[in-house]
Structure 1
Amino acid sequence: MASVDLDPAQLRAFLAVAEHGHFGRAATELTITQQALSKRVARLEELLGERLLDRDGRGAHPTPAGERLLEPARAVLAACAAAVTAVRGAARPLRLDVWGHLFAPLRTVGAVEFDALEVGHGRDLPSVLGALLRGEIDAGFGRHHALPDGREHELSHRLVRLEPVDAVLGADHPLAGAAALRPADLRDSTLLLPAALARLEFLQRFAERFDLACESTTNMGAEHFLAHLAATPNAVTLLPADAPLPLTPGLRTVPLVDPTPLYAWSLVWPRSNAHPAVPALLRAFAETGRRNRWLEYRPDRDWLPEAERAELGPLGG
């Protein structure tokens, strides 16, 4: 059988579409046009002599041949990334993508003393996981949680910060004048979401635990979202207590107590072919966390989703 030279760019295009289930979203992630993405996939299919993706009105999904290609394609891209790391070593900055942008992840990353860091932005955990497995980045920072397909197990992760969150509501909300609120006080409010609930695992767990109705908005940025919140009398959302808010008129921030919800930030990296600087970055997070008491948690005072309580072990009991 004649040898076939695979193009990593074409494999990366195929994987992005397979992971997103959509050509448009995959093109956005790879920062190329949808036309260029389609050409790369078509060339790969022509080279292999198999249709790899089925397209329909709902998006795209792998054919049986495409399913067989997924893991080998990820292995090829991981090997390419490992080859670059082997040659460049510590000379190349560690590439870190953050997600959870409304919760301002760069406040935490910026507090850590680590010079050889190149920071980018991911859409959510699945998109960051895809970029990690394709070797496009070395680590991610945001909220680690279970995924419907279980692929979070392809990552290693370390909890690095637990951050109290406040209730944010408009001045016309019936509870706007309170000095503090319990999560149970919000049951007659609507939890306003900046994206689909399925992408906001922490808010989903909070709504389930404290019995809140949810309403998703179109993601048009923090300012648009908060302006909509201020104009909706019965709406509330959650944001970290010290996160900087845009100058949106008519907003009130009220501490949550009894219990205080905590948002968990984690560092994630691939289980195989980890960048050699990951241990040093973990140490830098741990040192900064000790100084700032980032992992302080009291079960009688604070609330965490079950997964984070289990991860803390004896501290969460």
Structure 2
Amino acid sequence: MDTEAVRTFVLAAEVGQFQHAADELGVTQQAVSKRIAALERELEARLFTRTARGVELTIDGQAFLPHARGIVTGVERAINAIRPDTRALRIDVLGFRSGQAVVLHDYWRAHPGIGLDVVTLKAGDPHVAVAAIRAGDVDASFRTVTDPAALPRDLEMAHVIDFPLELLVGPRHPLASARTLTPAQLRRHRIWVPGIAPRSEWADFYDQLATAFDLRIDGAGPNFGVEALLETLAESADVATFVGSRDRLVWPTTYGLRRVPVVNPTIAYPQSLIFPRTNPHPGLRAIIDYFRGLAAPPEPAWVPSWPTPRRAVHRPAQAGSVSSLE
């Protein structure tokens, strides 16, 4: 089957006119008509009927369209598999305010000529991102499969950096005046992280963190978004939350919120990048090197059980490890 004819059919179906399809493809209307006619002969079915406004799909054309789109997408993925450098690097991040996105933005500003497409899959389960990578929808994802055995063999997961966590509190909170806080000082205080998604990496992270330091981490209640959380913190005298040190958060000055670093040990959230093991996008290496070139968290640092911290010597800790960074 002529894949160019299939592509032409899909475009004509979407725009509703052969002339518009011809303009998009940079060919003549006659060429479009010939491609469609050849495809109809091969399929032994009529795909379009002519109307006063252009063309409409027949019943056979409607049945063929979703499969034709799959053919076009498959061809594009096949081409990208052997020539990934011809398109922008597409990376999935947890959110556009996350430290991942902030660092990627810094990288792009330092290298404005690169092709970079940053997206967010809006899924808690990292296996959704794994499926998107394997399908070719994204080139890489800043997600973590906390059980390495569950990662498909055709994918690789690189630990690229650890982001320190900070406690975010309102002005009436008893810890608001602290310059720094230790995990021990957080005990008995309610740390609210609403909407912890089951099977997510952060659900595993907070479970291990709560166990390691006997913290009261509350994931109850619906997640109405960052703005609602910030408003709650501003009004509360007993609720706090964790945020990444590189997360980009903005709130009205009247809120009076404070970000307080956690030290001795620093609580570090590991950041991993998942990508194809063979033939990854050529732009990935520079991204990984850029992240790994950033400063490591202050020592000592606690991390959960799954990553191997960079330049770190492990000391055992309950449900995780405390590392003394070199």
Q: TM-score, normalised on structure 2? A: 0.62
Which residue of 2 is the match for residue 303 of structure 1? 302
Equivalent position of 1:132 in the other structure: 133
What is the one-letter code of the residue matched to 1:234?
D
Q: Which has the larger radius of gyration?
A: 2
The correspondence of residues 38-187 of structure 1 with structure 2, limited to 5 A, is 82-86=77-81, 88-100=83-95, 103-113=98-108, 115-123=114-122, 124=124, 125-142=126-143, 144-146=144-146, 150-151=150-151, 155-187=155-187
- Which of residues 224, 227, 248 in structure 2 aligns to 1:223? 227
**Corresponding residue for 2:212?**
209
The residue number in structure 2 matching 1:236 is: 240
Query: Partner letter of residue 164 of structure 1?
Result: P
Deviation of 1:197 (Å): 5.2
The equivalent of 2:193 in structure 1 is 193
* Structure 1 residue matching 2:169: 3-state secondary structure: strand
Structure 1 residue 296 displacement after superposition: 5.4
How far apart in 1 are the matches of 2:268 and 2:298?
A: 9
Structure 2 alignment gaps of length 5 or more? 1-62, 316-326
Q: In the superposition, relative to structure 1, how do residues 202 and 117 fare at CA in structure 2: closer, same or farther (>3 Å)?
A: same
What's the offset of the Cα at 1:82?
4.8
Change (3 A) 1:255 1:314: closer
Against the structure 1 CA distance between its residues 213 and 137, is the aligned structure 2 distance closer, same or farther, given a 3 Å change threshold?
A: same
8 Å contact from structure 1 (residues 94, 275) kept in 2: no
Q: 1:179 to 1:87 in 2, by over 3 A?
A: closer
The superposition leaves residues 215-235 of structure 1 with CA deviations (integer Å, 9 ceiling, x where unpaired) of 223222211122123333222
**Correspondence 1:286 to 2:281:** no
Q: Give 1:181 shift.
A: 0.8
Change in Cα spacing, 1:81 to 1:262, as seen in structure 2 (3 Å) is: farther
Q: Which amino acid aligns with 2:242?
A: L
Query: Counting helix residues as a fraction of each chain, which structure ranks higher?
Result: 1
Q: For residues 151 and 73 of structure 2, what CA distance do their matches in structure 1 show?
A: 16
Structure-1 residue corresponding to 2:274: 268
1:189-227 per-residue CA deviation (whole Å, 9 max, x = no partner) reads 122113225332333322221112232232222111221
Call closer, same or farther: CA 1:89–1:259 in 2, change over 3 Å.
closer
Structure 1 residues 183 and 77: alpha-carbon distance in aligned structure 2, compared to 1, 3 A threshold = farther
| Contact 1:97 1:139 (C-alpha < 8 Å) held by counterparts | yes
Contact 1:168 1:252 in 2 (8 A): yes
The whole-number CA distance in structure 1 between the counterparts of 2:145 and 2:276 is 15
Distance in 2, Cα, partners of 1:77 & 1:230: 51
Q: Is the 8 A contact 2:97 2:248 kept in 1?
A: no
RMSD, matched Cα: 3.4
Residue pair 2:193, 2:242 contacting (<8 A) in 1 also: no
What is the TM-score with the length of structure 1 in the denominator? 0.64
Counterpart secondary structure, 2:142: strand
The answer to whether the 8 A contact 2:230-2:251 is kept is no
Distance 1:152 1:178 in 2: 45
Cα gap change, 1:173 to 1:136, in 2 (>3 Å)? same
What is the number of equivalent residue pairs in this alignment? 237
Letter in 1 for 2:264: D
Cα distance in 2 between the residues matched to 1:296 and 1:215: 25
Give the Cα–Cα distance (whole angstroms) in 2 for the partners of residues 218 and 149 of structure 1.
Answer: 32
